[in-house]
Structure 1
Amino acid sequence: MLKLENVRKNYDRFTLECSLEVQPGCITGLVGQNGAGKSTTFKAILGLIHTDGGRITLMGKETKALTTADKERLGVVLSNSGVSEYLTVRDTAAMLRGFYHTFDRADFLEKCRRYQIPVDRKIKEFSTGMKAKLKLLIAISHRADFLLLDEPTAGLDVVARDSLLGILREYMEEDENRSILISSHISTDLEGICDDLYMIHEGRIILHEETDVLLGSYGLLKLDPEQYASVDRQYLLRVKKEPYGYSALTDQKQFYLENYPKVVIENSGIDDMITMMIRGERV
């Protein structure tokens, strides 16, 4: 559905060098700290910035060759995107009907009501969570096949984030060929919905793995100095000095469970992995 091959963008103090792929029928997450390159990647995909190298293909075509009909198959949410806050949802529906041939007004308004978005109040009166849900419902209102969502849950409380993720689950269940690329620095939002995750740091992909593998095979070893001196390090990805000794990230948790029963081994969440991959040292 989407493929970036050695895409490069040079700024004075930042360089993006990114390769990633989103398979049909999959939700792919792009995680990383603020400023890691997530938004720059999205802007490159959408042609909002000029790239300095590499190749981007979307729905089987280079992005420059996409037709108007192709672009209607995309649903996009950017952090600074939206519609005039002086409009109502009903006004917005009328506007969208003029933009998209495939816009489904009845379905859009029904989903707004179902997700508790008032259709006759001005958007400026909405809460942050209501505005975020509306942006997402607009992105899927024209039966888009592919969603590009840059930090759609940023600034939302846990209830609003859960509601937003529920919309995404429903969207994917409606058509098995749909795909999503979603970025977030709140990595726990992505654990339950993404098929695979890319981790980006300082403009470069530093890890790519299926979500089930990340949550099942990766682990965090807690080692005192004596244990660290004797442990087999061939499956350690990163090591970080701690007051008690060392923490170590592995993608072969079972190996250490079987061979080092006295070592404390914790299941590593995605946040732990981000911290270790960025702050830990290579073994």
Structure 2
Amino acid sequence: MLSLKEVEKHYDGFDLQCSMEVQKGCITGLIGKNGAGKTTAFKAVLGLIRKDGGEITVFGKSVESLDVKDKEHMGVVLSDSGFSGYLSVKDLIPVLDSMYPKFQKDWFLRKCSEYRMPMDKKIKDFSTGMKRKLQLLAAISYGADLLILDEPTSGMDVIARDEMLDLLREYMECGERSILISSHISSDLESLCDDLYMIDDGKIILHEETDELLANYGVLKVTKEQYGQLDRQYILRRRKENYGYSCLTAQKRFYQENYPEIESEKGSIDEVLTMMIRGKAL
């Protein structure tokens, strides 16, 4: 569905060097701290910036060769762009209807009513969360096969986020669609994504299936003495602590079985990301 192969973009003080893939029928998450390169990668995929190297293909075609018909099969929510603030939702409907032949007006109106979207209010007066909700509804409303979502739940409260995640699950029910999504709210991605890429300083530092990460990754809490006796062949990163070390592993069960005296914690997305970025490789 979507592929980035050794994609490069160079700015003063920042270099993107990124390879990743989004399979048909899958939701792929891209996570990293602010400034890690998530939005740059998204803009390269959408052709909003000119890449300096590598290859990007969408629907089996290079991103540069996508035509209007191809782009009608993509739905987009970017964190730093949106609709004109001087439009209302009522104003937006004929715009979407004219731009997208498959625009589902009845569905869009029903969802706007369900989510209590103010139809006559100017979009510039919406809350950040309401703007994201409108962008997401619009992106889904014309039957796109691929959604590119950069922080789509930013600014939403917990109830609104849950509603939007349900909307994305509903969108995926046909089994032929795909989503590339970034979010700084790890719980959203844990419950939604099939696989995850972690990016730091413009480079992919980890790619793992979400279930695999949650089941097998862990953080060991060891004293200096325990660390000296530890079999470190499955340690990915270590971090110095007051009591000794925190150690990230992708083989949690190995250490639970062979070192039952060592405290181990489940490797949440936040824990794994923190250790991959702030920990040191052996």
Q: TM-score range by the shorter chain?
A: over 0.9
- Could you tell me whether the CA contact under 8 Å between 1:237 and 1:250 is conserved in 2? yes
The alignment partner of 2:13 has SS state of coil
Q: Could you tell me how far apart the structure 1 residues matched to 2:124 and 2:48 are?
A: 27
Q: TM-score, normalised to structure 1's length? A: 0.97
Name the aligned partner's letter for residue 141 of structure 1: S
- Mapping for residues 76-155 of structure 1, pairs under 5 Å: 76-155=76-155
Deviations 1:210-268 (A, max 9, x none): 00000000001000111100011000000000001100000000101111110001101
User: How many Å apart are 1:49 and its aligned residue?
Assistant: 0.8
Name the structure 1 match of 2:198: 199
Deviations 1:2-26 (A, max 9, x none): 0000000111100000000000000
User: How many Å apart are 1:115 and its aligned residue?
Assistant: 2.1
- Mapping for residues 159-198 of structure 1, pairs under 5 Å: 159-173=159-173, 175-198=174-197
Q: How many residues align?
A: 282
- Could you tell me whether the CA contact under 8 Å between 2:130 and 2:156 is conserved in 1? no
Asked if residue 74 in structure 1 is aligned to residue 66 in structure 2, the reply is: no
Q: Could you tell me how far apart the structure 2 residues matched to 1:252 and 1:106 are?
A: 50
Name the structure 2 match of 1:239: 238
Q: Could you tell me how far apart the structure 1 residues matched to 2:63 and 2:181 are?
A: 18
- Could you tell me whether the CA contact under 8 Å between 2:128 and 2:154 is conserved in 1? no
For structure 2, the 5+ residue unaligned runs are: none
Q: Could you tell me how far apart the structure 1 residues matched to 2:115 and 2:193 are?
A: 22
User: How many Å apart are 1:164 and its aligned residue?
Assistant: 1.9
Q: Could you tell me how far apart the structure 2 residues matched to 1:129 and 1:44 are?
A: 25
- Could you tell me whether the CA contact under 8 Å between 1:109 and 1:119 is conserved in 2? no
Name the aligned partner's letter for residue 153 of structure 1: T
Q: TM-score, normalised to structure 2's length? A: 0.97
Name the aligned partner's letter for residue 276 of structure 1: M
For structure 1, the 5+ residue unaligned runs are: none
User: How many Å apart are 1:112 and its aligned residue?
Assistant: 1.2
Deviations 1:134-159 (A, max 9, x none): 11001111110000001112233322
Deviations 1:58-85 (A, max 9, x none): 0111111112111100000001222123
- Could you tell me whether the CA contact under 8 Å between 1:221 and 1:247 is conserved in 2? yes
The alignment partner of 2:192 has SS state of coil
Name the structure 1 match of 2:263: 264
Q: Could you tell me how far apart the structure 2 residues matched to 1:197 and 1:114 are?
A: 31
Q: Could you tell me how far apart the structure 1 residues matched to 2:8 and 2:127 are?
A: 37
Q: Could you tell me how far apart the structure 1 residues matched to 2:253 and 2:216 are?
A: 7
* Sequence identity percentage: 61
- Could you tell me whether the CA contact under 8 Å between 2:3 and 2:22 is conserved in 1? yes
Q: Could you tell me how far apart the structure 1 residues matched to 2:73 and 2:249 are?
A: 40
Q: Could you tell me how far apart the structure 1 residues matched to 2:267 and 2:241 are?
A: 16
Name the aligned partner's letter for residue 145 of structure 2: D
Name the aligned partner's letter for residue 140 of structure 1: I
Q: Could you tell me how far apart the structure 2 residues matched to 1:35 and 1:271 are?
A: 17
Name the aligned partner's letter for residue 201 of structure 1: D
Structure 1 stretch displaced more, 218-227 or 88-97: 88-97
Structure 1 stretch displaced more, 117-126 or 143-152: 117-126
User: How many Å apart are 1:122 and its aligned residue?
Assistant: 3.0
Q: Could you tell me how far apart the structure 1 residues matched to 2:29 and 2:72 are?
A: 22
Cα RMSD for the two superposed structures: 1.1
- Could you tell me whether the CA contact under 8 Å between 1:198 and 1:207 is conserved in 2? yes
